[in-house]
Structure 1
Amino acid sequence: MPFTLLGPCQLREEIRKSRFITLAAPIESVADAQAFLDQYSDLNATHNCWAWKLGGQYRSNDDGEPGGTAGRPILAAIEAQDCDQVVVLVIRWYGGIQLGTGGLARAYGGGANKCLQQAQKRELISRVPLKCACSFSELALVKLRIAEAEGVVLNEDFTANGVDLQLALGRERIETVQRQLADLSRGRILLEE
């Protein structure tokens, strides 16, 4: 089961007189990743190398380092830590001693790996989209039951007769929530995929 970060984290290292700062954060979209990179990239640094992973999408950038020595090792660290919905930026200030391609890959990938290891994580739950309808008076309790099952309400549509909800729940929680909602409404509220 993949994990994402609870919040941003960072790691500072000095490797053969070069300074490295590794920053990592959770993201929910490509725009989030780009905004993070725009905000934290240091234009005075020698290199701002990065990688992000969002489901099946991923990108990496070596920012002037020899090809495959920075972005790919950072992405490999994200995958090795079983992370998803994560962006990692490694900023380097060159210290005058060349690290070589192997040394660069170890520095960038190792920094990303250590940063992600120390980060607080939460498990990503795969959710199934569902819909249901309830009365106005039941809405607060329905939303409470969904939240208790670690589900999310995606949309609420208020009608003349009540509320149509679009929600998402983990597959293993659907049966329990369906039973709770049926008890709450005397069998009127039904979850539909």
Structure 2
Amino acid sequence: MPHTLATAAHSELIIKKSRFIGCVQPMTDRAAAQAVVDALWKQHPGAAHVCWALLAGGQSAAVDDGEPSGTAGRPMLDVLRHQDLEGVLATVVRYFGGVKLGAGGLVRAYTDCIAQALLTAQKVPLQRMSTLACSVPYSLEGWLRREIEAAGAELLQVDHGSAVTLQWRLPEAQAAACRQRISDGGQGRVGWMEADRVAS
């Protein structure tokens, strides 16, 4: 099962006078990752490179930022893949110390920097979520809200029309049982709908 990270974790290495400052953190998409990288440049204006790798499904990326091609972003991405992570951004800020490391040395430096940060990172299972939606008579709204809360689900939306429509999200593994329990408790007065068709 893929994991993501609970919070950011950091590392720092000095290799032949070059300073490598690593960070791994939860991240959902490329736009958010780019914003983090932009912020790192502001925090470290004297850095030579800010290399990064994002493992987030179709949003994944590997950026060498001026280091020789394939020596920074790709090795960092490989570390994330090897640890079965998803939705994680790895960044390394490098201050050049005046000694060239060579391609092999760079790959090792960037790989080690991310691997060290991951040693202290708290990994959490990545849960696939399901969204459920149904409409009930007004008399059942309070009961349905209590059922949703008891399931530990996140209530997303409530619409009051001729009936009350509620939409909520919970872990995919619990969705079928929750739906069955509500159908049984509603005694034929629960109208299920496709969650993505509910007006937002």
Equivalent position of 2:34 in the other structure? 34
Q: Does 1:72 align with 2:74?
A: yes
Q: Alignment length, in residue pairs?
A: 189
Shift of 1:79: 0.7
CA distance 1:131–1:169, shift in 2 (3 Å): farther
After superposition, what is the alpha-carbon deviation per residue over 1:126-180, rounded to whole angstroms, capped at 9, x for unaligned? Answer: 2334322344313431331342xxx54444333342233153541x322321243
Q: Does 1:84 align with 2:89?
A: no
Measured on the aligned residues, the alpha-carbon RMSD in Å equals: 2.2
CA distance in 2 between counterparts of 1:23 and 1:47 reads 14
Q: Does 1:178 align with 2:183?
A: no
Equivalent position of 1:16 in the other structure? 16
Shift of 1:118: 1.9
Summarize the alignment of residues 133-144 of structure 1 with structure 2, pairs less than 5 Å apart: 133-134=135-136, 135-144=140-149
Secondary structure of the equivalent of 1:67?
coil
Q: Which moved more, 1:35-44 or 1:72-81?
A: 35-44
* Structure 1: runs of 5 or more not aligned: none
CA distance in 1 between counterparts of 2:156 and 2:70 reads 40
Equivalent position of 2:7 in the other structure? 7
Moved over 3 A (4+): 151-156, 166-169, 182-193
Secondary structure of the equivalent of 2:65?
coil
Summarize the alignment of residues 23-172 of structure 1 with structure 2, pairs less than 5 Å apart: 23-41=23-41, 42-134=44-136, 135-147=140-152, 151-170=153-172, 172=173
The TM-score with structure 1 as length reference comes to 0.85
Q: Which moved more, 1:84-93 or 1:23-32?
A: 23-32
CA distance 1:192–1:173, shift in 2 (3 Å): farther
Q: What percent identity do the matched residue pairs reach?
A: 34
CA distance in 2 between counterparts of 1:187 and 1:101 reads 67
Q: Which amino acid in structure 2 is aligned with residue 32 of structure 1?
A: A
CA distance in 2 between counterparts of 1:116 and 1:47 reads 21
Q: Which amino acid in structure 1 is aligned with residue 132 of structure 2?
A: L
CA distance in 2 between counterparts of 1:44 and 1:87 reads 22
